[in-house]
């Protein structure tokens, strides 16, 4: 069986429609044909990534070790303590998503094992949404794997147009894309159609266009750490809207074209160089001097 070349979301939707298949089913058929492996072997590979995500969450939940800079590392601990005293306004699932996101991204700061999804600086968004929601809704491991395959295909197609790197297109291409991937994955978990899934991706991505990458002290810590839980919740909102048949007015491929254009128009000073934005605020400059003197 030959693999089908898919480079845009409109092509993906056309194939899903013509073959009456889910996005993950199309990906499975393509990947098994391309790499000459069985579906079982492909799923084992995806499970390995899913397990790494869960391990990062579990390890991060138990640690409050600070990063080498000393700037971050105990936010997950603080959030858990707060929720022990007073539940979150949005309920238990909100608590899980936000704590799992902080647990994962803080593991990244400690040089722990994480799954870059799609990048290290955005590694917590997809895992926190998939794992927390699956625990809450008692989702099977197979369905979690299918959701992760769906997220991967979303990231792959976006990367055909835009390099997923803050240095190329700002954080819209890292945390922004991760949030879009998570929205699509969650929509899959909730039983969404391919069209609803792609609407979730578009709704998430549209509202993150222009997100800059201006890390304080040149480290993937401020504002990166707290950005992960924020955009995990952002993904849930997109999925909830899409599963309700709320549709994007701008086609997803055009949203990705806009992502690329915005990245090109963005100043290099706001693309991971730490030459402007939050990285050059008065406090950030003081923090940088302090780190250099240590």
Q: How many residues does the chain have?
A: 294
pLDDT at 4: 78
Ordered by start, the domain boundaries in the chain are 9-293
Cα 134 to the chain's mean position, in Å?
A: 16
| pLDDT band at residue 270 under the 50/70/90 scheme | very high
Residue 196, CB-side half-sphere exposure with 13 Å CA sphere:
18
What residues have CB less than 8 Å from 69, skipping those under 6 apart? 217, 219, 221, 291
- Residue 66: is its pLDDT beyond 90? yes
| pLDDT band at residue 9 under the 50/70/90 scheme | very high
CA nearest 235: which of 139, 126, 155? 126
- Residue 266: is its pLDDT beyond 90? yes
Mean pLDDT of the chain: 97
- Residues 201-233: tens digit of each pLDDT: 999 999 999 999 999 999 999 999 999 999 999
Asked if omega into 118 is within 30° of 0 (cis), the reply is yes
pLDDT at 52: 98
pLDDT at 1: 56
pLDDT at 2: 66
Angle at 100 between CA 96 and CA 104, to 5 degrees: 180
- Residues 153-164: tens digit of each pLDDT: 999 999 999 999
pTM above 0.85, yes or no: yes
Burial grade of 63 (CB within 10 A; 0-12, 13-18, 19 or more):
middle
- Residue 294: is its pLDDT beyond 80? no
What residues have CB less than 8 Å from 151, skipping those under 6 apart? 117, 126, 130, 181, 182, 184, 185
Kindly give the interhelix angle for 175-189 and 141-161, rounded to the nearest 10 degrees: 140
Between the CA of residue 86 and those of 41, 83, 91, 97, 140, what are the distances in Å? 44, 5, 10, 16, 30
CB atoms within 10 A of CB 69: 17
Higher pLDDT, 95 or 3: 95
CA-based R_g, the chain, Å:
19
pLDDT above 90 as % of the chain: 97
| Domain 9-293, second-level architecture | Orthogonal Bundle (1.10)
| pLDDT band at residue 38 under the 50/70/90 scheme | very high
């Amino acid at each position: 069986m030959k693999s089908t070349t898919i480079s845009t979301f409109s092509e993906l939707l056309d194939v899903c429609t013509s073959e009456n298949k889910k996005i993950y089913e199309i990906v499975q058929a393509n990947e098994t044909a391309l790499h000459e492996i069985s579906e079982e072997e492909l799923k084992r590979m995806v499970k390995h990534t899913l397990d790494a995500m869960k391990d990062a969450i579990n390890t991060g939940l138990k640690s409050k070790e600070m990063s080498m800079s000393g700037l971050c590392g105990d936010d997950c601990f603080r959030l858990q303590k707060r929720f022990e005293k007073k539940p979150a306004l949005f309920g238990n699932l909100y608590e899980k998503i936000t704590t799992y996101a902080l647990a994962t991204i803080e593991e990244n700061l400690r040089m722990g094992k994480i799954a870059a999804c799609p990048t290290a600086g955005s590694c917590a968004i997809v895992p926190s949404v998939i794992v927390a929601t699956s625990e809450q809704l008692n989702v099977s491991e197979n369905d979690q794997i299918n959701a992760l395959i769906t997220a991967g295909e979303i990231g792959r197609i976006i990367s055909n147009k835009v390099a997923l790197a803050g240095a190329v297109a700002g954080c819209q291409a890292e945390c922004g894309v991760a949030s879009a991937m998570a929205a699509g994955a969650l929509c899959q978990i909730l039983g969404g159609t391919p069209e609803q899934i792609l609407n979730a991706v578009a709704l998430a991505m549209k509202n993150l266009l222009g997100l800059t990458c201006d890390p304080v002290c040149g480290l993937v810590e401020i504002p990166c750490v707290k950005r992960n839980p924020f955009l995990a919740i952002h993904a849930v909102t997109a999925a909830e809207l899409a599963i309700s048949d709320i549709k994007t007015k701008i086609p997803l491929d055009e949203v990705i074209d806009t992502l690329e254009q915005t990245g090109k128009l963005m100043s290099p000073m706001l693309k991971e160089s730490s030459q402007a934005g939050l990285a050059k605020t008065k406090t950030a400059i003081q923090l940088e001097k302090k780190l250099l003197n240590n």
